[in-house]
Amino acid sequence: MKAAAALLTGALALSLTACGGDDDKSGGDKSTGPKESGSALTLPELNGTTLEVAAVWTGPEQANFKKVLAEFEKRTGAKVTFVPAQDPIINFLGSKIAGGQPPDVAMLPQPGAIKQAVDKKWAKPLGAEALKELRKNYSQGWQDIGKVGGEQYGVYYKAANKSLVWYNATVFENAGASEPGTWDELLSTAQTVYDSGVTPFSIPGADGWPLTDWFENVYLSQAGPEKYDQLAKHEIKWTDPTVKEALTTLAEIWGKKDYVAGGADGALQTQFPNSVTQTFTGGDQPKAAMVYEGDFVQVNIAQTDAKIGTDAKVFPFPKVGDTAPVVSGGDAAVVLKDSEGAQALATFLASPDAAEIQAKLGGYLSPNKNVDVSVYPNDVQRTIAKALIAAGDDFRFDMSDQAPQAFGGTPGKGEWKDLQDFLKNPSDVAGIQKKLESDAAAAYGN
Amino acid sequence: MQSATGAAKAPRHRSVTGTRKTVAALFLLPALVLLGALVVYPIGYSVVRSFYDQSGDGFAGVDNYQALFTDDGIRTALKNNVIWVVFAPTVATALGLIFAVLTERVRWGTAFKLVVFMPMAISMLAAGIIFRLVYDQDPDKGVANAVWVGVHDTFAESSAFPKAHPGRKSPLVAENGGFVTGATVRAGDPVALPLVGVAPDQLPDGAKRAVAARAEPGKVTGTTWQDFTRGKGVGTLGAPDPDELGYAGMRIEAVEDGKVVASTKASADGTFTLPASADGARLRLPASNFTEPYNGLDWLGPSLVTPAIIGSYIWMWAGFAMVLIAAGLAGMPRELLEAARVDGANEWQVFRRVTVPLLAPVLAVVAVTLMINVLKVFDLVFIIAPGSSQDDANVLALELYRKGFAEDQPGVASAIAVFLLLLVIPVMWFNVRRLRREVRR
């Protein structure tokens, strides 16, 4: 039944885009031509169609995404409205759907959310045109995390490389420190920086999610991808010895009051944007030398005077075990109202054309392998993008994003809260493990 | 005659204004429909929903209400709500009373009232953002800590070398917050006391390049300095490199059997000289050299967050209390005050025995209104408390939101809503009764 429906919608989309394509040529003359060069993407004529796109993005991220939507409007004639949603977006969508007004397309930041949307029969499978575009541009790994039960629902429009440590180049130079490649080297770099008179790390403990990302990198590298996948599905317990080892390793940094800007109490009141800006302001004497987080840190660095690539540099998260971790995140476009317009927008978002617009504006990474890396605004971003594409299918998706919302995505609850408690009291590894396990058990329902 | 009897009969079917019941009902209908749709139906539905499980399909009985009293988060919320209801209205009313009574007596009373009332013009959200900044941990940003640290530092000065610590292979070991040499020192044998962790621009202004101390017969000499060259690392361990600076003003004590036998301060180049009595003692850099700069209070930490948010609430609502009480005060019979004064009562007695009892009804109304307001407090807590202490600052309305919209537990959220309603009812009932009595009077 489902397959038949998918086939039908697919055929429908095909025939519609086929006739839409002709219109596009005639209409294309009116709109600006130069953008269309080199792209084989054909989008249907959608004059008079209105679409709604829901996403949790704010600030520059939202502004940049709106430019992508504007390009879609220009090419198709459709009118696209951006609906600002709040975290957790799945509950936001729930109330929208209960009210009979679902947005046409939603950008879901977690694979868990896509699964929930499918289970609740909100999400609609991708049409043939969007699938074609997706298969052409995405590696198998990125396609697979958008699938539920073998059916393709999500287009990963935006990716995040969450295995990066950003550092203040001046501080490293003053301290004579070098970029570490292993955890032990990271510790000795931290000591050198500390000896030079600067606190090594800035940790945004007021937000829970950067803490989960710290843990995930250590765990992925130390315990390996297999255990990582098992823990993500809660097939092994949080009281597992591997978790103990990872937390103990983490405590080698979190547990040293002098290694964390403001100490544990100060860190617990530092929010993510502030943790970045305090690392890159203050000349020779910033509040901290290093801040760990994904590529999106650049957006916040841009708010300081530091220049990315010269004042603010980056190194990959050091390997704790045998291989360096690559933890990624991303937002997938999911169609909620199966219409020609929504499918066309999904197709557009799967194309390099859309990705390149936002890539140019910075603070954005695309998992699309056909995006020309030269469009990224600086070398740092280009390197990160290349690394992400080069990782192929060897990356692991953010664990807390795979977990149920109540455990991995709620402020002041579950993993977020437990790791905040751990940051406050890093000696109590066993106690935190027990707390994590009981919270996880409640959220996963097993 | 006919018409007169008709008019006399009419009141049995018609009201004084001559409207029929159906007409009255017709006029009431829009209001009833609106009230029904917007107030009664949601309340009823919430009550019903609170007996169903998470998905809304299965009847859950009183499970959701059971969760209300077993869930840790809700219990903290309940406890905090009690704190709120006890303190916020009383303090706001008390402050309002004081302001009202005092402003009556000053010439610029109206201007003063205007200023106190001003915060009422700000939305809760904006006030929350303002106070988030006020309570910022960093004294350079948060005004609360700026004042606190300013006061603290006038009494206790911070030291020059807060983060200094022994580097690799240092002869010093940590002891009671200070550092002490592992071995005893000998006269005529210069000592090196290297530390790291102080950036050059943080050293005291007079610090000069460190030099190795010369041996002086009969005296203990040595150098204490920052054994770290900017941009080059430690260089030669345990000996001053050309660009390394001395710890000017570092206090050094010679300790023998736990007793200080001699002490001195390092000069600008880090060198120091101790008399012969220090021979055979251990050298100690006492903890007073390394006290951390005072960082102020952890306003938004787990223990202070609720009082801090209550403070911001009072900032907003004291003005409201003041205006209402001032209105009551204006309507008070002056002659009673005059009479009391003529009878020889002092101002405090007048205030305590006449003003306050006469104002009691107004004070009660203000306190009760604030109580209702406080029971549903949400925005200030939601905005001011950082994620890490939101649990500790939790109140019922916030927990309702979190359960309903973040955790997808509409059943439990509805139960909280019903519980909140039950809490408000006695206060409402009290207010309604008051109002009736007032009307009767």
3-state SS class at A308: strand
For residue B295, the model assigns a pLDDT of 78
For residue B14, the model assigns a pLDDT of 55
Rounded to whole angstroms, how far apart are CA atoms B296 and B206?
28
Strands, sheet with B282-285, edge to edge from the N-terminal-most edge strand: B172-175, B178-181, B282-285, B251-256, B259-265
Residues of A in contact with B196 (CB under 8 A): 195-197
User: Which DSSP state fits B344?
Assistant: T
Residues of B in contact with A256 (CB under 8 A): none
User: Is residue B327 domain-resident?
Assistant: yes
Residue A330 Cα distances to A71, A111, A291, angstroms? 22, 9, 20
Tens digits of residue pLDDT in A32-85? 334 443 456 788 888 888 999 999 888 888 899 999 999 999 999 999 999 998
For residue B16, the model assigns a pLDDT of 61
Tens digits of residue pLDDT in B292-302? 778 788 888 88
Q: Are residues B269 and B387 in the same domain?
A: no
Q: Are residues B424 and B320 in the same domain?
A: yes
Q: Rg of chain A's alpha carbons, rounded to an integer?
A: 22
Q: Comparing C-alpha atoms, which of A263, A265, A131 is closest to residue A201?
A: A263
Q: Are residues B198 and B278 in the same domain?
A: yes
Q: Are residues B312 and B429 in the same domain?
A: yes
Of A88, A175, A271, Cβ closest to residue B406: A88
For residue A242, the model assigns a pLDDT of 94
Q: Are residues B279 and B371 in the same domain?
A: no
- Determine, for residues B197 and A196 on separate chains, whether the beta-carbon distance falls below 8 Å: yes
Q: Are residues B71 and B204 in the same domain?
A: no
- Determine, for residues A175 and B233 on separate chains, whether the beta-carbon distance falls below 8 Å: yes
Q: How many domains does chain B have?
A: 2
| Cα maximum dimension of chain B | 138
- Determine, for residues A413 and B407 on separate chains, whether the beta-carbon distance falls below 8 Å: yes
Rounded to whole angstroms, how far apart are CA atoms A11 and A23?
19
Question: For residue B435, what are the domain limits?
Answer: 63-148+299-440
Residue B4: burial class (beta carbons within 10 Å; 0-12, 13-18, 19+):
exposed
- Determine, for residues A192 and B233 on separate chains, whether the beta-carbon distance falls below 8 Å: yes
- Determine, for residues A410 and B197 on separate chains, whether the beta-carbon distance falls below 8 Å: no
- Determine, for residues A411 and B298 on separate chains, whether the beta-carbon distance falls below 8 Å: no
For residue A13, the model assigns a pLDDT of 41
For residue B380, the model assigns a pLDDT of 93
Note whether B271 and B246 are within 8 A (CB): yes
Q: Does A208 touch chain B (CB under 8 A)?
A: yes
For residue A103, the model assigns a pLDDT of 93
How close, in Å, is residue A258 to chain B by CA atoms? 8
Q: Are residues B311 and B431 in the same domain?
A: yes
Q: What percent of chain B has pLDDT over 90?
A: 28
A28 has pLDDT over 50: no
Rounded to whole angstroms, how far apart are CA atoms A140 and A114?
18
End position of a domain, from candidates B289, B319, B341: B289
Do A164-325+403-444 and A2-21+44-160+328-390 have the same topology in CATH? yes
- Determine, for residues A173 and B231 on separate chains, whether the beta-carbon distance falls below 8 Å: yes
Tens digits of residue pLDDT in A374-388? 999 888 888 888 888
Q: Does A165 touch chain B (CB under 8 A)?
A: no
Touching B: A residues 333-372, CB under 8 Å:
none
Mean pLDDT for chain A overall? 85
Q: Does A282 touch chain B (CB under 8 A)?
A: no
Q: Are residues B303 and B431 in the same domain?
A: yes
Residues of B in contact with A208 (CB under 8 A): 387-388
Q: Are residues B285 and B307 in the same domain?
A: no
For residue B130, the model assigns a pLDDT of 93
User: Is residue B1 domain-resident?
Assistant: no
Q: Does A94 touch chain B (CB under 8 A)?
A: yes
- Determine, for residues B197 and A192 on separate chains, whether the beta-carbon distance falls below 8 Å: no
Q: Are residues B267 and B319 in the same domain?
A: no
Rounded to whole angstroms, how far apart are CA atoms B377 and B309?
10
Rounded to whole angstroms, how far apart are CA atoms B74 and B68?
6
Cα torsion A336, B414, A413, B306 to 10°: value is 130
User: Is residue B155 domain-resident?
Assistant: no
Q: Which region among A146-155, A255-264, B150-159, B172-181 has the lowest average model confidence (pLDDT)?
A: B150-159
Nearest CA in chain A to B384: A269
- Determine, for residues B163 and A197 on separate chains, whether the beta-carbon distance falls below 8 Å: yes
Q: Are residues B196 and B279 in the same domain?
A: yes
**Confidence class for position A2, pLDDT limits 50, 70, 90:** very low
DSSP codes of every residue in B23-46 = HHHHHHHHHHHHHIIIIIHHHHHH
CATH number at residue B397: 1.10.3720.10
Determine the residue type at B207.
A
Q: Does A378 touch chain B (CB under 8 A)?
A: no
Residue B337 CA, distance from chain mean position: 39
Domain borders along chain A are: 2-21+44-160+328-390, 164-325+403-444
Residue B218 CA, distance from chain mean position: 59
- Determine, for residues A410 and B163 on separate chains, whether the beta-carbon distance falls below 8 Å: no
Q: Does A194 touch chain B (CB under 8 A)?
A: yes
End position of a domain, from candidates B264, B289, B314: B289
Cis, bond preceding B302 (omega within 30 deg of 0): no
Q: In this structure, what token pair is assigned to residue A307? A: 């220049």
B441 has pLDDT over 80: no
- Determine, for residues B386 and A269 on separate chains, whether the beta-carbon distance falls below 8 Å: yes
Q: Does A200 touch chain B (CB under 8 A)?
A: no
The set of residues, in sequence order, having a beta carbon less than 8 Å from that of A114 and lying 6+ positions away, is A108, A123, A146, A148, A153, A154, A332, A334
- Determine, for residues B386 and A206 on separate chains, whether the beta-carbon distance falls below 8 Å: yes
Mean pLDDT for chain B overall? 86
- Determine, for residues A269 and B137 on separate chains, whether the beta-carbon distance falls below 8 Å: yes
Cα torsion B124, B130, B134, B135 to 10°: value is 50
Rounded to whole angstroms, how far apart are CA atoms A30 and B331?
75
- Determine, for residues B387 and A266 on separate chains, whether the beta-carbon distance falls below 8 Å: no
Residues of B in contact with A93 (CB under 8 A): none
Q: Does A425 touch chain B (CB under 8 A)?
A: no
**Confidence class for position B433, pLDDT limits 50, 70, 90:** confident
Substitution target from A178, A259, A268, A284 for chain B, most B beta carbons within 10 A: A268
In this structure, which CATH number among 2.30.130.10, 1.20.1250.20, 3.40.640.10, 3.40.190.10 belongs to the domain A2-21+44-160+328-390? Answer: 3.40.190.10
For residue B140, the model assigns a pLDDT of 82
Q: Does B359 touch chain A (CB under 8 A)?
A: no
Of B201, B386, B402, Cβ closest to residue A285: B201
User: For chains A and B, what is the number of CB pairs under 8 angstroms?
Assistant: 107
Rounded to whole angstroms, how far apart are CA atoms A354 and A359?
9
- Determine, for residues B406 and A91 on separate chains, whether the beta-carbon distance falls below 8 Å: yes
- Determine, for residues B389 and A268 on separate chains, whether the beta-carbon distance falls below 8 Å: yes
**Confidence class for position B33, pLDDT limits 50, 70, 90:** very high
B428 has pLDDT over 90: no
* Strand B191-195 with A312-316, pairing: unpaired
Note whether A84 and A117 are within 8 A (CB): no
Q: Comparing C-alpha atoms, which of A268, A286, A267, A198 is closest to residue B162?
A: A198
Q: Does B233 touch chain A (CB under 8 A)?
A: yes
Of B167, B301, B407, Cβ closest to residue A410: B407
How close, in Å, is residue A423 to chain B by CA atoms? 10
Q: In this structure, what token pair is assigned to residue A193? A: 């920086």
How close, in Å, is residue A265 to chain B by CA atoms? 7
Note whether A208 and A419 are within 8 A (CB): yes
Q: In this structure, what token pair is assigned to residue A261? A: 């800007």
- Determine, for residues B406 and A405 on separate chains, whether the beta-carbon distance falls below 8 Å: yes
A27 has pLDDT over 50: no
For residue A31, the model assigns a pLDDT of 39
End position of a domain, from candidates B271, B289, B307: B289
Q: Are residues B329 and B423 in the same domain?
A: yes
How close, in Å, is residue A243 to chain B by CA atoms? 22
Q: Does A305 touch chain B (CB under 8 A)?
A: no
Tens digits of residue pLDDT in B343-364? 988 888 988 888 899 999 899 8
- Determine, for residues B388 and A192 on separate chains, whether the beta-carbon distance falls below 8 Å: no
Nearest CA in chain A to B410: A91
- Determine, for residues A268 and B234 on separate chains, whether the beta-carbon distance falls below 8 Å: no
Note whether B62 and B415 are within 8 A (CB): no
- Determine, for residues B233 and A176 on separate chains, whether the beta-carbon distance falls below 8 Å: yes
- Determine, for residues B391 and A412 on separate chains, whether the beta-carbon distance falls below 8 Å: yes
Touching A: B residues 370-429, CB under 8 Å:
386-391, 394, 402, 405-408
User: Could you tell me the pTM of the whole model?
Assistant: 0.78
Identify the helix (H) or strand (E) that includes residue A84: strand A79-84
Compute the average pLDDT of residues B48-72: 86
Tens digits of residue pLDDT in A177-223? 889 999 999 999 999 999 888 999 999 998 889 999 999 999 999 99
State the first-to-last Cα distance of chain B, in angstroms, to the nearest integer.
Answer: 40
Q: Where are the beta strands (DSSP E) in A226-306?
A: 290-292
Q: Where are the beta strands (DSSP E) in A146-256?
A: 147-148, 151-152, 154-161, 164-168, 201-202
Residue B420 Cα distances to A412, B60, B381, B392, angstroms? 22, 20, 17, 19
The CATH number given to A164-325+403-444 is: 3.40.190.10
For tokens 């596009």, name the residue.
A24
Q: Which region among A79-88, B144-153, B289-298, B335-344 has the lowest average model confidence (pLDDT)?
A: B289-298
